Amino acid sequence: MRKHQLLIVAWLPDITSSINQILKDNNYVSDSVSTPIEAMNAVGKTTYKVVVLDSLLPGVNGYQLVKRLRNEPHGEHTKFIVLMRDLPKDKYEEVNRRWGTYALLKKPLKSEELLRVIQDAEACDLPSEKLEIRKSESVEAILSELASGLWTGKTTCYGKNGAVKEIYWDRGNPVFAMSSDENERLDLWLLRTGQVTESVMTSAYEIMDKRSIRLEDALIMVGALSEDSLEAAVSDNMMAMIVDMFSWDGMEYTKEEKDAGTKVLASIKDPFPIILFEGIKKKTDIEGLRSRLESEGEIASFIPDNILKVEDFKFPHAYNRLINLINEKRTINELIAKSGLSQDDAYRFLYTLFLLKLVRLSRPDKKEASAVISMPTIQSDASKKTRFMGTLHDISIVELIQMLELNRKSGTLQINDANEIGWILFNRGRIVDAYYGELTRLTAVYRILFLTEGEFEITFKDIVGESRIDTDVQVLLMEGLRIVDEVKRIEPIFGGLKKSYIVNTSHTFNTEEEKEELMRVFNGRNDLVTSAFMLNPDPQIGFDIMSSLLKDNVIKEVK
């Protein structure tokens, strides 16, 4: 920071030149702007100890501008000196207190008075100058620590290539972010992401200059974005600033704790776990994540009574399967193998849960007693309202699906049968994804329609992520029930659908890959229906293939 960090805000050139001359004669260095929007941009990017502000400004009076500048991330501790033509002495204290200014000075200015007030204001150091600079080799570790501790305050982060970013937190969630990188400015970010064209942005700039309004207001006026879409864009822009930090090798940072006040800045909509997950996805050092997890242990289980609950966060629905698989028995490798995710994505997600202290890792021969748990099962009054459980003897799969569609519900339908766990994901009554063993999407839904025994549990919650099933629910059910009927007609040929097959290893295969693929399908656990779907999305074709394999003695029944 410069020894004298001053900003002059004055619309009339003669006011600016007279103040500049006074400061220059006394070895002060200052910046100057002439419009309110320029002042907000300057205070939004730079920490000024003192702002000298003329009350005569276009489109806004001095009181309104001071109020706005105080709400800028860098404006909270700034000392504002406001110049006024008329200042009744008997109302000086009242006006000063109402405006939140450091001092009010009457025009025409007296150089001695201006210098004295600036020197007095400068003597009050900003709290950020006294903060201890800390160092961290892991950006995600320090940010996760702040989130887990439900921290409220400001962190100033110094990273690679001189980048400086400020993050304001409210009870463990980032609510506002600023960056020194010009490329991360909202206007450039909107252009780069294709949300606004260059011609539209040029029109917005012209309106900003003419009316002295903010970029956001100008974009709404030209019809480039609605208020809702603009709020979402501002949130995404700030999230991108934070996510970019995960590419840093390490950082220096300061922490400034605040008891309150950060909530008024709230512009970031998603909670920290979502930001952390996106940041971890940005990291390319998968081997580092893998070794870190495996050094902590092999078996994953949920930490009981953690103030952060994994179900509270809107992780993409493709990861729900992995969440539901976590218990006190499955190793990391088993979780990844059954998750339906790529190894890299599964490791990233597990690492995210680990950093948030939502899961603990232990070893099979060295478990802590408290670690032997799965998802907490204590049902509070609130959680009872978001869950519905029963058996398929009470209500069929088709009835459950129709009920969820009719009531436009969002959430997950989990079915536990003797062999596998199946999930169907709903968003406002529409089926958006499904899993059953290694089957996914429509094939998984059709396989689940065969189930007549087992327990089900419906969890009502928001589903985020891309829909992977676009078929109308009624069309899907009609097609699924047709498949069930046709398969049941050929059941007598195979003597039952619950049989399972294994590969006859004495058979000579064309390639090792062919043998491995068949062993994956016919592993002694999959029943005939599941095997048929794994061989072909049309199970009738799958059963024809099985008939040929049986005839050629490639597979045999498990006794």
pLDDT of residue 304: 64
CA distance 417 to 91: 78
Q: Would you list the domain boundaries of the chain?
A: 6-127, 131-269, 284-371, 381-485, 495-557
Query: Quick check: 138 pLDDT over 90?
Result: no
Better pLDDT: 386 or 486: 486
Two structure tokens written together for 352: 């995210």
Specify the DSSP class assigned to residue 421: E
Is residue 24 within 8 Å of 56, Cβ to Cβ? no
Q: What is the mean pLDDT of residues 452-468?
A: 81
Q: Helix or strand or coil: residue 448?
A: helix
Q: Which CATH number fits domain 6-127: 3.40.50.1220, 3.40.50.2300, 1.20.1050.40, 2.40.50.1020?
A: 3.40.50.2300
**For 485-490, which contacts have Cβ atoms below 8 Å and span 24 or more sequence positions?**
486/540, 487/450, 487/529, 487/532, 487/539, 487/540, 487/543, 490/540, 490/543
Calpha distance 431→121 (Å, rounded): 62
Q: What is the pLDDT of residue 256?
A: 82
Residue 80, token pair as written in the block: 């504002």
Is residue 477 scored above 90 in pLDDT? yes
pLDDT of 372 reads 31
Residue burial 490-508, b: 16+ Cβ < 10 Å; e: rest: beeebeebeebbbbeeeee
* Predicted confidence (pLDDT) at residue 93 exceeds the cutoff of 90: no
Q: What is the mean pLDDT of residues 6-13?
A: 85
Least confident window among 22-26, 74-78, 227-231: 74-78
Q: What is the pLDDT of residues 418-458, one digit of tens each?
A: 677 888 989 889 999 888 888 888 999 999 999 988 888 88
Rounded average pLDDT over 352-362: 85
Instruction: Choose the weakest-confidence range: 39-53, 237-251, 355-369.
Output: 355-369
Mean pLDDT of 331-350: 86
What DSSP string describes 173-190?
EEEEEEES-GGGSHHHHH
Buried-state track 260-275, b at ≥16 Cβ within 10 A, e below 16: eebeebeebebbbbbb
Which range among 128-137, 256-265, 310-319, 520-529 shows the weakest confidence by mean pLDDT?
A: 256-265
| Residue (of 148, 125, 145, 128) closest to 136 by Cα position | 145
Residue 21 pLDDT: 84
Q: Distance (Å, rounded) from C-alpha 35 to C-alpha 16? A: 12
H or E segment to which residue 344 belongs: helix 343-355
Omega of the bond leading into 13 within 30 degrees of 0 (cis): no
More confident residue, 122 or 145: 145
Residue 443's pLDDT is what? Answer: 92
pLDDT mean over 332-349:
85
Q: What are phi and psi of 18, to 5 degrees?
A: -70, -40
Q: Are 70 and 41 in contact (CB under 8 A)?
A: no
Query: In whole angstroms, what is the distance from residue 533 CA to residue 41 CA?
Result: 59
pLDDT digits (tens, 9 = 90+) for 242-285: 999 988 888 888 888 765 445 556 688 888 888 898 888 887 67
* Whole-number average pLDDT of the chain: 80
- Confidence band of 485 (pLDDT split at 50, 70, 90): very high
Beta bridge partners of 460: 411
pLDDT at 63 over 70: no
Q: pLDDT category, 128, cuts 50, 70, 90?
A: very low
The pair of structure tokens assigned to 13 is 């050139």
- Mean pLDDT over residues 297-311, rounded? 71
Question: What pLDDT, in 10s, does the model give residues 494-552?
Answer: 888 888 899 888 888 888 888 888 888 888 888 899 999 999 989 989 999 999 998 88
CATH of 284-371, one of 1.20.140, 1.20.120, 1.10.10, 1.10.3470: 1.10.10
Domain 6-127 and domain 284-371, same fold? Reply is: no
DSSP 74-142: TTTTPEEEEEES---GGGHHHHHHHHT-SEEEESSP-HHHHHHHHHHHHTS--GGGGSPPEEES-HHHH
Backbone angles phi, psi at 455, to 5 degrees: -105, 150
Confidence class for position 92, pLDDT limits 50, 70, 90: low
